[in-house]
Amino acid sequence: MDVIELNDIKLLFVKDENGTSYIGGNQYWYPKEGYFTRGACGAATASNMLAYMLRMQQKLNTKAEYIDFMKKVYPYFAPSWIGLHAPWFIKGMKKFGADFGHPVTARCLKAPIWPIKRPSYQEAADFIGSSLKADVPVAFLALSGGDVKYIYKWHWMTIIGLDEENRKIKILDNNKISWADLGLWLKKSMLGGALIMLYQHISE
């Protein structure tokens, strides 16, 4: 089985005051006041990507510290009433990088609403695999889930692994890791979505 994964997912592990461990951020960690938690999946995904790429483990050891970082990220990925579309995600990532001295270049692979115009599974796998091999997570926007387990509609997730043989992606979503069928999603999703990679690695 040919599986590609990030080199050190432990970089995203944090603990709360009780010693409970979590992996990555959760959109529902944002306070209800001042944040649109139901639409904050894009900001949570961006926080995961940036925390990993900036190697912020030493600064984000606790859940409270991770939440403070997520609050810093949120304004760049704040959703509108129709959510956060891929161009806005890319714009937010570039602006965050410019404002904090970590320039980044983003690339998007769209999965249009018309299945016939979508990339093939292999094209999508090559896109994801090239990012993971560079040790960079991939942002995944699903506008509809296509009845694929662990892929939800109007939702951003962080891709941290790829199983090429079984056509599946390893997803980090609100502190949970799951394997989802990317090949089936590309066929069944009614509205499509997008994949975003940051092919210029951010460094401190």
Sketch the domain layout of the chain as residue ranges.
3-198
Q: Is the pLDDT of residue 201 over 90?
A: no
Report how far Cα 203 is from the mean position of its chain's Cα atoms: 18
> Distance between CA atoms of 151 and 140, rounded to whole angstroms?
10
* Residue partners of 71: CB distance under 8 A and separation at least 6: 30
pLDDT value of position 204: 46
Instruction: Kindly indicate whether the domain formed by 3-198 is annotated with CATH number 3.90.70.10.
Output: yes
Q: Average pLDDT, stretch 148-169?
A: 96
Instruction: Tell me what pLDDT residue 80 has.
Output: 85
- Higher pLDDT residue, 61 or 6? 6
How far is the C-alpha of 160 from the C-alpha of 169, rounded, in Å?
8
Q: Is the pLDDT of residue 146 over 80?
A: yes
The string of pLDDT tens digits covering residues 170-183 is 999 999 999 999 99
User: Is 120 a residue whose pLDDT tops 90?
Assistant: yes
Is there a contact between 77 and 35 (Cβ–Cβ < 8 Å)?
no
Q: Which residue has the higher pLDDT, 104 or 6?
A: 6
| pLDDT for residue 57 | 65
Q: How does DSSP assign 142-178, residue by residue?
A: ES--TT-TT--TTEEEEEEEEETTTTEEEEEETTEEE
- Per-residue confidence (pLDDT) for residue 199, from 0 to 100: 67
